[in-house]
Structure 1
Amino acid sequence: MRCAIRVSLLLALATPALARADAVDNYIQSQMRRQHIPGLSLAVVVDGKVVKAKGYGLSDIETDTPATPETVYQLASVTKQFTAAAVLILVQDGKLNLDDPIQKFIEGTPDIWAGISVAHLLNHTSGIKDYLNELNARSLEEMTPKKIVDLVIGQPLNFAPGEKYSYSNTGYVMLGMIVNKMSGMPYDVFLTERVFKPLGMDATRRSSLDVIPNRAAGYTWVGDRWQNSPYLNPTLWDNGDGGMLSTVLDLAKWDAALYGEAILNEATKQKMWSRGTLKDGKSINSGFGWGLDELRGHRLIEMNGSRPGTTTNLARYVDDKVTVIVLLNCDAEIGRISCGVARHFIPSLNFPKPITEEIAPARLAAYTGRYEFANNFMLTINLEDGRLVERSPKLAGGFWSPVSETTFLSEDLPIEMTFDLGRQGEVVGLTWRSDLRKKTIPRIGPLIHDLKPQADPDPERTGRVRAALESFAKGGQAVEQVENLTPGAKKDFGRGARSELAGLQSLTFISQESIGDRGIERHGEKVAHILYYKFTTPKCTRYLLVHLTAGGLLTDMDIVDD
């Protein structure tokens, strides 16, 4: 029997809840300032009741329209949980099986796909290439699901089905096609009839060019200002991998339904939220349309979504019966925000309180610098108002509080970092710890303003570096003709022009450092030396970190601010 799931929208009125709400508001607003977020909508559900539903900032800057709980956002990959649910409803209906080969439903597939099942698509273990991230499909032309499949059919698999995990949007495009075929209706119509209407999710629908009331505009932060996010043809995004629109209030209704059996029975939900198993017996942190995680002993079932102009998160702390739903209209580090909100409602997610004694300013300053978090993923530690703050191109950044002279806790996430010292007390790296992993991160070097300028010991080398940078500004064949590059650097920088280097006017040597003992690699080559430069173009003055091998080949470069 289908029945509407009613979610109470009454806010808790007890004094502790009001104090907590104020703290959440302050936290959200601080994150919006830090991450340059124009508009955000939030819902927090506790024991089936929406205890907080609020909008912050603007859903449309040009019309000065406030964000509200009713603001409609692109869901991006949060759509995948609905596509997975549609497939599982068809399994419940007896119309397909999880171990059915996809060749049964998708026409024209090659023989090497014979071992790929519906389950492989659901938990990203098919080996099929991702049309967005690997094949870089960003066409302005109409992109039907069939065209997307045609893009990947001629490509080799990344691995044998079930051998590895690799996130694939293509798999969910195909799942949408399977729902179309087996239900006899477009996948979004099927979801409307079987999920959205029964639950009263009236604002949830497939993305389109239609004018949709309360829809948020999407933005991108460029330099020091907002710009409208780049146009992408909706046909590229309105498929089973990321095509839905919704509100935080509608998603709260969906969350409530997942605690009952109105849509999916218990056996089906158990399958949806079970970790996938690879051929070698190892488990993965992925179910069907959901990520499966644990934070400080709290089971977490969540999904993030991102596309130009939107970032989304639905995080369910199922044992605590707390759900945090965050939707916003730009690119942002939404996991930090969602976890930070959850910590206000689940106190045991917090680390112990930091120490109150002050750490000597000189010691804090010694921790600042750049660290190699992962290959070509640089973490920057700086000081703001006497406190450590981390920045990176992929992290929004946040403050860290000390629990000892060398160990610090994130104010937003259940993560701690401990600075590692060498024999002379110098900082050589840091150890990053979370519930799921421990990672040793080598130090690259100091911040630009802490460098002591040196005379250029090898002007000819600087000339070669400049020639390489000028080729990067052009890309393509210009890069191929440069001799002092590693193969990996040629491949990467040859893919396209680096506009930030266009019109290079000056390149000034600042300093150099030998780091061959730190285990840092770029483009598959060990980095032995880093050269620091200041450069100017008609548009800017910035700084460069140039990574060289022991043989003097340029294997990477980073453009940074001071």
Structure 2
Amino acid sequence: MRALYHLILLFSISFVTFAQKKTVTPPPVDPLSGFDSFVNQMLIDWHVPGASVAIVKDGKLLYAKGYGFRDVKKNLPVTEKTLFGIASCTKSFTSAALAILADEGKLDWNKPIKEYLPDFQLQDEFATRTIAARDLVSHRTGLARHDLTWLYANLGRQSLYQRLKYLPLSKPLYAQYQYNNLMFMTAGVLIERISGKSWEDFLREKILQPLNMNQTVLTYPELFQKEDYALSYRDHNGQWVEQGFGSNVDAIGPAGSIKSNAVEMANWLIMQLNKGKFGEKQIVSAANLKENHTPQIVVYPAEAPFSELGYAAYGMGWSINTYRGYQRLAHNGSIEGYRSQMAFFPNENIGIVILTNTGAADYYFVNSVCNYFSDKWLNLPVIDWVPRLKIAQGEAKAKQEKAKQDNASKRKTDTTPSHSTDSYAGTFEHPAYGSFVLEPKSDGTYVGAFHGLPFTLAHYHYDIFEGTGVFDQTKFDFKIGTTGEINRVILTLGNAGEIEFKKAVK
């Protein structure tokens, strides 16, 4: 009976798969009708200074246009060739680079990377000796984000790589999806060691040049040599202020440093949709690109806030879910003031890329445009996503406000620190995060700087202080050593957990 059950189940799965492949979406009626005016309206609704969009279908670029301004002060318009930071959309390029190495017989997806990188070391020994290449690019290593190790730090890729061993894992290997930039950076180091070339040179030779992505660059110094690139912005009391370029993203380049434009990103999507082929060139084999597109772990927490969206899984550099029943692969990107999104529907052979130069709208703008595009090109009744997403935006803001209120209500009043003001001052160090210096002020607060970013500390209760600036609402829990003096402080960091900084001995 069990054998019969498995046979029936296998037949059922095969039939469903066959049926899905045979499903034909009716051709859309003039899907570009109204698209231009819709995007312009979204710029207004979501308060976005500039954007660029490209649409591909059946191996061809069908639409590419810039909107708004790449330089607000100088009134310079965005074009379809304006360069933007695509941020984490870079991850799919790094995953494809690994696939190319697999094609060349130089990489086994399932072999522990310790065999390629003898100096690879995490704090957990089992994870160190088990993690394979596919794990690095699917967010399932057990390592939390620890983004403050690299953000705005004056550290290069190799220094960050060597510091991994000082970072605690927050989950066991494979236990849970945890988005992680440092592991994608490590994938870049793996590419460098195997190929004998820098990650940047490998991508230029194996991916960018064959795809005619000739304006695409991988570092900020290269970007600044170009004429047509978008400045990034933040909203300050209704006015656009330049965000700047000091994040240090180039150091973790394989996770998020590519700067590209809509036209050239369209080539990237065409290759993805064409099973690794672009024109007459096979950039990556269909088999190993399919590895990139295959789910590796369920995205946690499993949330589908709208009935049209299915639960998501993560492949290698791609988020995989369904939109209104249609399989979709996509990825977002966020760095400085840039927000980006690329998405494609493999069975319908269509895709879109959306690039913007502000984080003020978070992902609401790109989601609105992407969903509208999807409805039109899938020939579905168009959903007005803006009211829904405005509600979601309001709920997110209300949640943040409630968190502030809860934080204030949990504070124990009428408590005092256990030690004198000077006892909490000094230099505090962590082998991966670096150090900061606390200086006391006459009002009982402290000032400091972390990776050059200023912050202050104010007493919360007992020996716990609360930060502002780069450490906004972060709790600093000062600890007493056996000598009775303050000798360390524990910071509870979002997406990292408790990180202990030791006080330097004078």
TM-score, with structure 2 as normaliser? 0.67
Sort the Cα spacing of 1:464 and 1:95 in 2 relative to 1 into closer, same or farther, 3 A: closer
Offset of residue 21 of structure 1: 3.3
Q: What do the CA deviations read for 1:378-421 (whole angstroms, capped 9, x no partner)?
A: xxx99xxxx99525368799xxxxxxxxxxxxxxxxxxxxxxxx
Q: What do the CA deviations read for 1:82-131 (whole angstroms, capped 9, x no partner)?
A: 00000110011011111122223341514341121111111110112323
Sort the Cα spacing of 1:256 and 1:292 in 2 relative to 1 into closer, same or farther, 3 A: same
Q: What do the CA deviations read for 1:279-333 (whole angstroms, capped 9, x no partner)?
A: xxx9960001111010111110111101112111110011121211101111131
Sort the Cα spacing of 1:271 and 1:471 in 2 relative to 1 into closer, same or farther, 3 A: farther
Name the CA distance, whole Å, in 2 between partners of 1:165 and 1:257. Answer: 27
1:268 matched residue in structure 2: 288
Name the CA distance, whole Å, in 2 between partners of 1:497 and 1:270. Answer: 43
Where in structure 2 are the equivalents of 1:366-445 lying within 5 Å? 390=391, 392=393
Name the CA distance, whole Å, in 2 between partners of 1:92 and 1:305. Answer: 27
Sort the Cα spacing of 1:499 and 1:270 in 2 relative to 1 into closer, same or farther, 3 A: closer
**Structure 1 letter corresponding to 2:159:** K
1:137 matched residue in structure 2: 150
Q: Which moved more, 1:200-209 or 1:335-344?
A: 335-344
**Structure 2 letter corresponding to 1:94:** G
Name the CA distance, whole Å, in 2 between partners of 1:395 and 1:185. Answer: 44
Offset of residue 230 of structure 1: 3.9
1:127 matched residue in structure 2: 142
**Structure 1 letter corresponding to 2:357:** N
Question: Does residue 328 of structure 2 align to residue 317 of structure 1?
Answer: no
Specify the SS of the correspondent of 2:259: strand
Return 5+ residue gaps in structure 1 as ranges. 1-13, 355-380, 398-440, 445-460, 483-489, 502-522, 524-562
Q: What do the CA deviations read for 1:218-264 (whole angstroms, capped 9, x no partner)?
A: 11112211110044154555510001111111111122222143112
Sort the Cα spacing of 1:137 and 1:15 in 2 relative to 1 into closer, same or farther, 3 A: closer
**Structure 1 letter corresponding to 2:89:** V
Where in structure 2 are the equivalents of 1:293-308 lying within 5 Å? 293-308=321-336
Contact 1:44 1:322 in 2 (8 A): yes
Q: What do the CA deviations read for 1:256-275 (whole angstroms, capped 9, x no partner)?
A: 22214311222112211111
Name the CA distance, whole Å, in 1 between partners of 2:143 and 2:28. Answer: 53
RMSD: 3.8
2:56 matched residue in structure 1: 45
**Structure 1 letter corresponding to 2:378:** I
Name the CA distance, whole Å, in 2 between partners of 1:203 and 1:343. Answer: 31
Contact 1:35 1:396 in 2 (8 A): no
Name the CA distance, whole Å, in 1 between partners of 2:347 and 2:76. Answer: 37
Percentage identity across paired residues of the two chains: 21
1:66 matched residue in structure 2: 77
Sort the Cα spacing of 1:100 and 1:388 in 2 relative to 1 into closer, same or farther, 3 A: closer
Name the CA distance, whole Å, in 2 between partners of 1:498 and 1:199. Answer: 39
Where in structure 2 are the equivalents of 1:48-127 lying within 5 Å? 48-106=59-117, 107-110=119-122, 111-112=125-126, 113-127=128-142
Where in structure 2 are the equivalents of 1:375-524 lying within 5 Å? 390=391, 392=393, 476=457, 478-481=459-462, 494-496=466-468
The structure with the greater share of residues assigned to helix is 2
2:220 matched residue in structure 1: 208
Name the CA distance, whole Å, in 2 between partners of 1:84 and 1:54. Answer: 28
Specify the SS of the correspondent of 1:335: helix
1:401 matched residue in structure 2: none
1:173 matched residue in structure 2: 185
Name the CA distance, whole Å, in 1 between partners of 2:471 and 2:199. Answer: 41
2:372 matched residue in structure 1: 340
Offset of residue 140 of structure 1: 4.6
Specify the SS of the correspondent of 1:42: strand
1:34 matched residue in structure 2: 45
TM-score, with structure 1 as normaliser? 0.60
**Structure 2 letter corresponding to 1:125:** R
Name the CA distance, whole Å, in 2 between partners of 1:248 and 1:209. Answer: 20
| Count of residues in Structure 1 that have an aligned counterpart in Structure 2 | 379
Specify the SS of the correspondent of 2:171: coil
Contact 1:295 1:349 in 2 (8 A): no
Specify the SS of the correspondent of 1:209: helix
Name the CA distance, whole Å, in 2 between partners of 1:317 and 1:123. Answer: 20
Contact 1:34 1:396 in 2 (8 A): no
**Structure 2 letter corresponding to 1:68:** T
Sort the Cα spacing of 1:388 and 1:208 in 2 relative to 1 into closer, same or farther, 3 A: closer
Higher RCO structure, 1 or 2 (CA under 8 Å, sep 6+): 2
Name the CA distance, whole Å, in 2 between partners of 1:181 and 1:388. Answer: 44
**Structure 2 letter corresponding to 1:316:** F
Sort the Cα spacing of 1:289 and 1:57 in 2 relative to 1 into closer, same or farther, 3 A: same
Contact 1:53 1:249 in 2 (8 A): yes
Contact 2:157 2:252 in 1 (8 A): no
Specify the SS of the correspondent of 2:142: coil
Contact 2:341 2:353 in 1 (8 A): yes
2:482 matched residue in structure 1: none
Name the CA distance, whole Å, in 2 between partners of 1:388 and 1:63. Answer: 31
Specify the SS of the correspondent of 1:114: helix
Name the CA distance, whole Å, in 1 between partners of 2:205 and 2:55. Answer: 26
Name the CA distance, whole Å, in 1 between partners of 2:244 and 2:395. Answer: 19
**Structure 2 letter corresponding to 1:86:** A
Name the CA distance, whole Å, in 2 between partners of 1:48 and 1:80. Answer: 22
**Structure 2 letter corresponding to 1:127:** G
Offset of residue 137 of structure 1: 3.5
Contact 1:276 1:284 in 2 (8 A): no
1:537 matched residue in structure 2: none
Out of 162, 166, 169, which is 1:150 matched to?
Answer: 162
Sort the Cα spacing of 1:238 and 1:161 in 2 relative to 1 into closer, same or farther, 3 A: closer
Contact 1:480 1:494 in 2 (8 A): no
Name the CA distance, whole Å, in 2 between partners of 1:342 and 1:388. Answer: 16
Sort the Cα spacing of 1:396 and 1:237 in 2 relative to 1 into closer, same or farther, 3 A: farther
Contact 2:445 2:458 in 1 (8 A): no
Name the CA distance, whole Å, in 2 between partners of 1:125 and 1:500. Answer: 28
1:190 matched residue in structure 2: 202
Q: What do the CA deviations read for 1:188-239 (whole angstroms, capped 9, x no partner)?
A: 2111111111121111221222322311111111221111004415455551
Contact 1:131 1:148 in 2 (8 A): no
**Structure 2 letter corresponding to 1:338:** C
Sort the Cα spacing of 1:34 and 1:90 in 2 relative to 1 into closer, same or farther, 3 A: same
Specify the SS of the correspondent of 1:21: coil
